[in-house]
Structure 1
Amino acid sequence: MAEKTMVVEVAYALPHKQKIISLNVPEGTSMSEAVRLSRMDEYFPELDLSACPLGIFGKAVPKPSERLLQAGERVEIYRPLIADPKEVRKQRAAKAKAAKEEESAE
Protein backbone atom coordinates (compact mmCIF):
# COMPACT_ATOMS: atom_id res chain seq x y z
CA MET A 1 0.00 0.00 0.00
CA ALA A 2 1.28 3.47 -0.88
CA GLU A 3 2.35 5.84 1.88
CA LYS A 4 -0.15 8.63 2.52
CA THR A 5 1.17 12.12 1.86
CA MET A 6 0.00 15.65 2.55
CA VAL A 7 0.85 19.15 1.40
CA VAL A 8 2.49 21.62 3.81
CA GLU A 9 4.35 24.88 3.34
CA VAL A 10 7.64 26.17 4.74
CA ALA A 11 8.12 29.96 4.84
CA TYR A 12 11.02 32.30 5.57
CA ALA A 13 11.12 36.06 5.14
CA LEU A 14 13.63 38.86 5.31
CA PRO A 15 12.56 42.51 5.11
CA HIS A 16 13.37 42.59 1.38
CA LYS A 17 12.90 38.95 0.31
CA GLN A 18 10.64 36.02 1.16
CA LYS A 19 10.16 32.44 0.05
CA ILE A 20 7.31 29.98 0.60
CA ILE A 21 7.91 26.42 -0.48
CA SER A 22 5.07 23.95 -0.88
CA LEU A 23 6.02 20.35 -0.08
CA ASN A 24 4.34 17.00 -0.47
CA VAL A 25 5.48 15.09 2.64
CA PRO A 26 4.55 11.75 4.25
CA GLU A 27 1.95 11.88 7.03
CA GLY A 28 3.77 11.96 10.36
CA THR A 29 6.45 14.41 9.18
CA SER A 30 7.77 16.68 11.94
CA MET A 31 8.25 20.42 11.58
CA SER A 32 12.03 20.01 11.70
CA GLU A 33 11.96 17.38 8.97
CA ALA A 34 9.78 19.55 6.70
CA VAL A 35 12.19 22.46 7.15
CA ARG A 36 15.11 20.21 6.22
CA LEU A 37 13.22 18.88 3.18
CA SER A 38 12.43 22.44 2.04
CA ARG A 39 16.17 23.12 1.57
CA MET A 40 15.42 26.75 2.40
CA ASP A 41 19.12 27.26 3.20
CA GLU A 42 19.85 26.95 -0.52
CA TYR A 43 17.86 30.18 -1.08
CA PHE A 44 19.22 31.84 2.07
CA PRO A 45 22.82 30.58 2.58
CA GLU A 46 23.20 32.50 5.87
CA LEU A 47 20.32 30.50 7.37
CA ASP A 48 21.23 27.84 9.95
CA LEU A 49 18.18 25.58 9.82
CA SER A 50 19.26 23.63 12.90
CA ALA A 51 19.33 26.74 15.10
CA CYS A 52 16.33 28.79 13.92
CA PRO A 53 13.19 28.96 16.02
CA LEU A 54 10.12 27.58 14.23
CA GLY A 55 6.41 28.17 14.44
CA ILE A 56 3.11 27.42 12.76
CA PHE A 57 0.90 30.27 11.56
CA GLY A 58 2.57 32.84 13.83
CA LYS A 59 2.79 30.73 16.99
CA ALA A 60 6.20 29.53 18.16
CA VAL A 61 6.57 25.79 18.76
CA PRO A 62 9.02 24.90 21.55
CA LYS A 63 9.90 21.36 20.33
CA PRO A 64 9.60 21.36 16.52
CA SER A 65 11.26 17.96 16.19
CA GLU A 66 8.36 16.45 18.18
CA ARG A 67 5.51 18.42 16.56
CA LEU A 68 3.94 16.43 13.72
CA LEU A 69 2.39 18.44 10.93
CA GLN A 70 -1.20 18.38 9.71
CA ALA A 71 -2.15 18.78 6.05
CA GLY A 72 -2.19 22.43 4.96
CA GLU A 73 -0.09 23.82 7.83
CA ARG A 74 2.62 26.39 7.19
CA VAL A 75 5.90 26.08 9.08
CA GLU A 76 7.54 29.46 9.63
CA ILE A 77 11.26 29.84 10.12
CA TYR A 78 11.87 32.80 12.43
CA ARG A 79 14.83 35.16 12.35
CA PRO A 80 16.66 35.90 15.59
CA LEU A 81 15.53 39.07 17.35
CA ILE A 82 17.79 42.06 16.80
CA ALA A 83 16.55 43.87 19.92
CA ASP A 84 14.66 42.82 23.04
CA PRO A 85 11.01 43.86 22.48
CA LYS A 86 10.59 44.86 26.16
CA GLU A 87 13.62 47.14 25.95
CA VAL A 88 12.36 48.72 22.72
CA ARG A 89 8.95 49.43 24.32
CA LYS A 90 10.65 50.91 27.39
CA GLN A 91 12.76 53.23 25.21
CA ARG A 92 9.71 54.27 23.16
CA ALA A 93 7.74 55.05 26.34
CA ALA A 94 10.63 57.11 27.75
CA LYS A 95 10.89 59.05 24.50
CA ALA A 96 7.13 59.75 24.48
CA LYS A 97 7.24 60.87 28.13
CA ALA A 98 10.15 63.23 27.42
CA ALA A 99 8.31 64.71 24.42
CA LYS A 100 5.17 65.22 26.52
CA GLU A 101 7.15 66.94 29.31
CA GLU A 102 8.84 69.16 26.74
CA GLU A 103 5.44 70.09 25.28
CA SER A 104 3.98 71.02 28.67
CA ALA A 105 7.06 73.12 29.55
CA GLU A 106 6.49 75.41 26.55
Structure 2
Amino acid sequence: MIRIEIAVLDAGVVRCRTLDLPAGSTVQEALVAAGIDAQGRGLAVFGHAVPAERVLRSGERIEVLGPLTADPKLARMQRVQRSREAQQAKRDAARRVTQRG
Protein backbone atom coordinates (compact mmCIF):
# COMPACT_ATOMS: atom_id res chain seq x y z
CA MET A 1 0.00 0.00 0.00
CA ILE A 2 1.04 3.58 -0.66
CA ARG A 3 -0.30 6.74 0.94
CA ILE A 4 -0.76 9.74 -1.33
CA GLU A 5 -2.42 13.12 -1.10
CA ILE A 6 -4.67 14.76 -3.67
CA ALA A 7 -5.02 18.55 -3.77
CA VAL A 8 -7.83 20.00 -5.89
CA LEU A 9 -8.15 23.71 -6.68
CA ASP A 10 -11.81 24.74 -7.04
CA ALA A 11 -12.91 28.37 -7.18
CA GLY A 12 -9.77 29.54 -5.40
CA VAL A 13 -10.12 27.02 -2.57
CA VAL A 14 -7.72 24.09 -2.21
CA ARG A 15 -9.21 20.85 -0.92
CA CYS A 16 -6.80 18.13 0.19
CA ARG A 17 -7.49 14.47 0.73
CA THR A 18 -5.28 11.53 1.75
CA LEU A 19 -5.73 8.10 0.18
CA ASP A 20 -4.25 4.64 0.73
CA LEU A 21 -3.87 2.81 -2.58
CA PRO A 22 -2.28 -0.43 -3.78
CA ALA A 23 1.36 -0.14 -4.84
CA GLY A 24 1.66 0.52 -8.56
CA SER A 25 -1.44 2.74 -8.71
CA THR A 26 -1.52 5.49 -11.31
CA VAL A 27 -2.64 9.10 -11.08
CA GLN A 28 -5.85 8.17 -12.95
CA GLU A 29 -6.60 5.30 -10.56
CA ALA A 30 -6.12 7.64 -7.60
CA LEU A 31 -8.53 10.16 -9.10
CA VAL A 32 -11.14 7.46 -9.69
CA ALA A 33 -10.71 6.16 -6.13
CA ALA A 34 -11.21 9.71 -4.81
CA GLY A 35 -14.23 10.31 -7.05
CA ILE A 36 -12.59 13.28 -8.76
CA ASP A 37 -13.38 14.17 -12.37
CA ALA A 38 -10.28 15.90 -13.72
CA GLN A 39 -11.46 15.97 -17.33
CA GLY A 40 -9.87 18.92 -19.12
CA ARG A 41 -7.77 19.94 -16.13
CA GLY A 42 -4.02 19.77 -15.68
CA LEU A 43 -2.39 17.17 -13.44
CA ALA A 44 0.85 17.59 -11.53
CA VAL A 45 2.86 15.82 -8.85
CA PHE A 46 4.67 18.27 -6.58
CA GLY A 47 4.29 21.02 -9.18
CA HIS A 48 5.55 19.05 -12.19
CA ALA A 49 3.07 18.19 -14.96
CA VAL A 50 2.42 14.47 -15.29
CA PRO A 51 0.25 12.23 -17.48
CA ALA A 52 -2.68 10.35 -15.93
CA GLU A 53 -0.81 7.06 -16.54
CA ARG A 54 2.08 7.97 -14.24
CA VAL A 55 2.70 5.43 -11.47
CA LEU A 56 2.64 6.96 -7.99
CA ARG A 57 5.03 6.50 -5.09
CA SER A 58 4.15 6.71 -1.43
CA GLY A 59 4.14 10.24 -0.04
CA GLU A 60 3.47 12.00 -3.34
CA ARG A 61 0.87 14.73 -3.79
CA ILE A 62 -1.28 14.88 -6.91
CA GLU A 63 -2.39 18.38 -7.83
CA VAL A 64 -5.52 18.79 -9.93
CA LEU A 65 -5.03 22.21 -11.46
CA GLY A 66 -7.68 24.76 -12.24
CA PRO A 67 -8.15 26.24 -15.69
CA LEU A 68 -5.86 29.08 -16.77
CA THR A 69 -7.31 32.47 -15.88
CA ALA A 70 -5.20 34.33 -18.45
CA ASP A 71 -3.29 33.60 -21.62
CA PRO A 72 0.31 32.99 -20.42
CA LYS A 73 1.85 34.83 -23.39
CA LEU A 74 -0.38 37.87 -22.91
CA ALA A 75 0.21 37.90 -19.14
CA ARG A 76 3.99 37.87 -19.68
CA MET A 77 3.79 40.71 -22.20
CA GLN A 78 1.77 42.77 -19.70
CA ARG A 79 4.33 42.11 -16.92
CA VAL A 80 7.18 43.19 -19.20
CA GLN A 81 5.29 46.35 -20.17
CA ARG A 82 4.65 47.27 -16.51
CA SER A 83 8.31 46.65 -15.69
CA ARG A 84 9.46 48.88 -18.56
CA GLU A 85 7.08 51.63 -17.48
CA ALA A 86 8.38 51.45 -13.89
CA GLN A 87 12.00 51.62 -15.08
CA GLN A 88 11.20 54.61 -17.29
CA ALA A 89 9.48 56.38 -14.38
CA LYS A 90 12.61 55.87 -12.23
CA ARG A 91 14.85 57.28 -14.97
CA ASP A 92 12.55 60.28 -15.42
CA ALA A 93 12.52 60.95 -11.66
CA ALA A 94 16.33 60.71 -11.48
CA ARG A 95 16.65 63.08 -14.43
CA ARG A 96 14.39 65.66 -12.73
CA VAL A 97 16.46 65.45 -9.52
CA THR A 98 19.77 66.00 -11.36
CA GLN A 99 18.33 68.92 -13.35
CA ARG A 100 17.32 70.72 -10.13
CA GLY A 101 20.67 70.27 -8.42
TM-score after normalising by structure 2? 0.76
Cα distance in 1 for residues equivalent to 2:54 and 2:87: 48
Under a length normalisation based on structure 1, what TM-score does the superposition of the two structures give? 0.73
Quick check: 1:59 aligned with 2:48? yes
Counterparts of 1:32-51 in structure 2 under 5 Å?
32-40=28-36, 48-51=37-40
Q: Which runs of 5+ in 2 are unaligned?
A: 97-101
Aligned-residue CA RMSD (Å): 2.1
**Deviation readout 1:38-92 (Å, 9 max, x if unpaired):** 124xxxxxxx42221101001111x22x211011111110111111223212112
C-alpha distance in 1 between matches for 2:85 and 2:2: 55
Residue 44 of structure 1 corresponds to none
Contact 1:29 1:68 in 2 (8 A): yes
- In the TM superposition, structure 1's runs of 4+ consecutive aligned residues that sit over 3 Å from their partners are 98-103
Percent of aligned positions that are identical: 32
Matched residues in 1 for 2:4 and 2:25: separation? 10
**2:16 matched residue in structure 1:** 20
AA at the equivalent of 1:91? Q
The equivalent position to 1:94 in structure 2, one of 81, 84, 92, is 81
Q: Which has the higher helix share?
A: 2
- After superposition, what is the alpha-carbon deviation per residue over 1:7-61, rounded to whole angstroms, capped at 9, x for unaligned? 1111112464221110011111100110121124xxxxxxx42221101001111
Bigger Rg, which one: 2
